[in-house]
Amino acid sequence: MLELDRLSRRYGDVVALDDLSFTVRPGQMYGFVGTNGAGKTTAMRIILGVLEPDSGVVRWNGTPLDQDIRREFGYMPEERGLYPKMQVHEHLVYLARLHGVAGITAAKAASDLLDALALSERASDRIESLSLGNQQRVQLAAALVHDPAVMVLDEPFSGLDPMGVDAMAAVLRARVDAGAAVVFSSHQLELVERLCDAVGIIRAGRMVADGSVDELRGTSAPRFRVAVDAPAGWVSSLTAAVPGLVVVDDAGHDALVELPPPGDDQALLDAARALGPVRQFTPVRPTLAELFRSVVAEPATEPATSEKVEAA
Ligand SMILES: Nc1ncnc2c1ncn2[C@@H]1O[C@H](COP(=O)(O)OP(=O)(O)OP(=O)(O)O)[C@@H](O)[C@H]1O
């Protein structure tokens, strides 16, 4: 299990990470999401040892990471780093051999990955001759060619065409199904929702929601699409009848309403029935993008560390 335990990190006055914790299990794909500047890259750089935390520790199977453990990881950094003059297949074999993979195994692993990422025809081309999206596919192959147990990928899907996204997703899913632990950052929330077993949402360096998308849904206010056969104004009457009810969208004929958690859906239905025949009463499952918007928009419960220090 990869465990980030209470990581904090500042750059001068900027609090990049503030007591951040989460875990990624073998066989789990973990999506790491947050607004620009939330601290995702900082956390990933700490996992990979290119940045030290001010406090906190990262462990793999209970042991704090050292360079030997980190060598076993696969990493796709934000700054892509391939040798532009090298040929694609040659480059992958070179990287696998650096990780101690024997020649024949390395060559096969490189060929298999190029095949899976639809790059076999470019195997003998120089990296610099590839489009940016194809270089990105090679970068993923570079992170996986030594068959790592843990993969840490900083925005691996950004800038890829839909086929590239599908190819990358399939390669990662196969590794996860074979028992690897994968954590990747992304702003593509539909993709994260589709691919990930667990999601962490960070804001200003803090974890604000962590769990499967269904678990995150369970903590959000329940929403219902309601249609009542009643004269105009029925939505206001419904709001008046149900304490705390929020109207998210009033389309006249129907309305999207939100109950305060945990939400008494039967009381809402009774109140709607009291106004007229109920033509629709449907629970609406929020998407990850909607959950994200609502948790990052919530007011902070405590001041950030820098404010605490300044106030002290
Ligand atoms: N080298 C640095 N020097 C000073 N501040 C930095 C440095 N690197 C990051 N920061 C700051 O730390 C905070 C977290 O940045 P980080 O790059 O980790 O965010 P991110 O979640 O990866 O953002 P994005 O989604 O935009 O890539 C930001 O406020 C950023 O400006």
Residue 302 lies in a domain: no
Residue 227 lies in a domain: yes
Residue 300 lies in a domain: no
- Structural domain harbouring 258: 221-285
Q: Is 42 in the pocket of ligand 1 (CB under 6 A)?
A: yes
Q: Choose one of 11, 32, 44, 78 to mutate for the ligand 1 pocket test, by most ligand atoms within 8 angstroms of C-beta.
A: 11
Atom of ligand 1 nearest to the CA of 78: 27
Whether residue 312 is predicted with pLDDT greater than 60 in this model: the reply is no
Residue 290 lies in a domain: no
Where a domain ends, among 185, 214, 243?
Answer: 214
Same domain, 161 and 269: no
User: What total number of domains does the chain contain?
Assistant: 2
Query: What is the 36 CA–ligand 1 centroid distance (Å)?
Result: 8
Same domain, 65 and 136: yes
54-87 tens-digit pLDDT: 999 999 999 999 988 998 899 988 776 788 899 9
Same domain, 208 and 239: no
Q: Is 41 in the pocket of ligand 1 (CB under 6 A)?
A: yes
Residue 159 lies in a domain: yes
Same domain, 249 and 210: no
Same domain, 204 and 225: no
Nearest to 253 by CA among 232, 224, 222: 232
Q: What CATH number does residue 135 fall under?
A: 3.40.50.300
Same domain, 97 and 168: yes
Atom of ligand 1 nearest to the CA of 12: 4
Task: Of 66-70, 206-210, 238-242, 258-262, give the lowest mean pLDDT range.
Answer: 258-262
Query: What is the 39 CA–ligand 1 centroid distance (Å)?
Result: 6
Q: Is 44 in the pocket of ligand 1 (CB under 6 A)?
A: no
Q: Is 203 in the pocket of ligand 1 (CB under 6 A)?
A: no
Q: Whose Cα sits closest to atom 7 in ligand 1? A: 11
Whether residue 303 is predicted with pLDDT greater than 50 in this model: the reply is no
Whether residue 307 is predicted with pLDDT greater than 50 in this model: the reply is no
Same domain, 144 and 81: yes
Residue 292 lies in a domain: no
Q: What CATH number does residue 280 fall under?
A: 3.30.70
Atom of ligand 1 nearest to the CA of 34: 21
Mean pLDDT of 109-115: 95
Where a domain ends, among 214, 243, 276?
Answer: 214
Q: Whose Cα sits closest to atom 24 in ligand 1? A: 36
114-126 tens-digit pLDDT: 999 999 999 999 9
pLDDT at 78: 73
What crossing angle do the helices spanning 132-144 and 162-177 adopt, rounded to 10°?
Answer: 10
Query: What is the 59 CA–ligand 1 centroid distance (Å)?
Result: 23
Whether residue 219 is predicted with pLDDT greater than 70 in this model: the reply is yes
Same domain, 182 and 235: no
141-192 tens-digit pLDDT: 999 999 999 999 999 998 899 999 999 999 999 999 999 999 999 999 999 9
Residue 306 lies in a domain: no
Query: What is the 285 CA–ligand 1 centroid distance (Å)?
Result: 32
Same domain, 107 and 160: yes
Query: What is the 205 CA–ligand 1 centroid distance (Å)?
Result: 10
Q: Is 28 in the pocket of ligand 1 (CB under 6 A)?
A: no
244-264 tens-digit pLDDT: 999 999 988 899 999 987 788
Q: pTM here?
A: 0.84
Residue 293 lies in a domain: no
Same domain, 252 and 179: no
Query: What is the 185 CA–ligand 1 centroid distance (Å)?
Result: 13
Q: Is 36 in the pocket of ligand 1 (CB under 6 A)?
A: yes
Label residue 309 by pLDDT band (50, 70, 90). Answer: very low
Q: Whose Cα sits closest to atom 5 in ligand 1? A: 11
Share of the chain above pLDDT 70, in %: 95
Q: Is 11 in the pocket of ligand 1 (CB under 6 A)?
A: yes
Same domain, 62 and 198: yes
Label residue 276 by pLDDT band (50, 70, 90). Answer: very high
Whether residue 21 is predicted with pLDDT greater than 60 in this model: the reply is yes
Query: What is the 53 CA–ligand 1 centroid distance (Å)?
Result: 14
